[in-house]
Amino acid sequence: MTDAPTAEDLIAEAAAAPVDGWGFDWLAGRATEERPPWGYAHLVADRMGRAAAALDVDTGGGEVLAEVPRPPKVLVATEAWPPNVLVARRNLRPLDATVVAVAPDSALPFRDGSFDLVVSRHPVRTDWADTARVLRPGGTYLSQQIGPGTMRELSEAILGPLPPPDGRHPEEAVASAESAGLRVVDLRRATLRATFHDIGAVVWFLRKVVWTVPGFDVDRHRAPLLALHRRIVEQGPFVAHAQRFLIEATHP
């Protein structure tokens, strides 16, 4: 009978594991998160099957786009993190998609009215005016976004008490979309349970989902990590809640 791995073992394992792309397979058996009820990948596949030219902004490793069964004739994706660009190009090669490397927060490098569909899953930031610019009249923007205070319990477990969230509110997204000349036709919200069974899962998640604890560093945050490990061992899996919203808007 082998001894259970120590906190240091779990932390070291997670700190050395790759976090390229936007898949979460490494967490299998170690953490779970509920999925939003609207089925974003299914919605994207449906819209892609009816589009002539489509763009996926902040594609990550292209994981969602790679599942599209009937891609449009013109399919483009953008990504700002260099390691993800290579992953996305590999994943999207079977769809004959073009992956464009962009600088963070840069304007979309496309002509006005280039696409009749723009999608984005968990964008870092939505430039609503630029999105409206690249959409053709009658085109659609569909996005699943991070809601305010997402994974707050986990953030506070590492950082301590935090002030109320001041950004990423769905109502702000609606106002920004309408200010850019788009018409919001759908808005849905969901609170999703996330469960972490060991501290290694926490460390890997924080390395990958960097906005949960900005500037996360294993050595700098070792004390709260060890405290959270003891909590998991004594009380059972750590539970946090992710906030998501779906927004769909059309270009009149």
List pLDDT tens digits, range 144-196: 999 999 999 999 999 999 999 887 899 999 999 999 999 999 999 999 999 99
- Rounded Cα distance, 67 and 69, in Å: 6
Q: Is the pLDDT of residue 248 over 60?
A: yes
Residue type present at position 37: P
Q: Cα–Cα–Cα angle for 190, 241, 171, nearest 5°?
A: 40
Q: Is the pTM of this model over 0.85?
A: yes
Number of domains within the chain = 1
Q: Which residue do the tokens 């998640």 mark?
A: 205
Q: For the segment 60-85, what is each residue's pLDDT rounded down to a tens digit?
A: 999 999 999 999 999 999 999 898 99
Query: What residue numbers bound the domain in which 119 lies?
Result: 7-250
pLDDT computed for residue 166 by the predictor: 80
Q: For the segment 22-46, what is each residue's pLDDT rounded down to a tens digit?
A: 778 999 999 999 999 999 999 999 9
Q: For the segment 99-117, what is each residue's pLDDT rounded down to a tens digit?
A: 999 999 899 999 999 999 9
The values of phi and psi at residue 190, to 5°, are -150, 140
The candidate with the shortest Cα–Cα distance to 60, out of 41, 46, 47, 39, is 41
Is there a domain that residue 33 lies in? Answer: yes
Is there a domain that residue 1 lies in? Answer: no
Is there a domain that residue 2 lies in? Answer: no
pLDDT computed for residue 8 by the predictor: 96
Helix, strand, coil percentages (3-state) for the chain, rounded to 5, are 35, 25, 40
Is there a domain that residue 150 lies in? Answer: yes
Is there a domain that residue 109 lies in? Answer: yes
Q: Any idea what the CATH number is for the domain that residue 146 is in?
A: 3.40.50.150
Is there a domain that residue 230 lies in? Answer: yes
pLDDT computed for residue 2 by the predictor: 58
pLDDT computed for residue 1 by the predictor: 47
Note whether 98 and 109 are within 8 A (CB).
Answer: no
Is there a domain that residue 28 lies in? Answer: yes
| 124 pLDDT tier (thresholds 50, 70, 90) | confident
Note whether 80 and 102 are within 8 A (CB).
Answer: yes
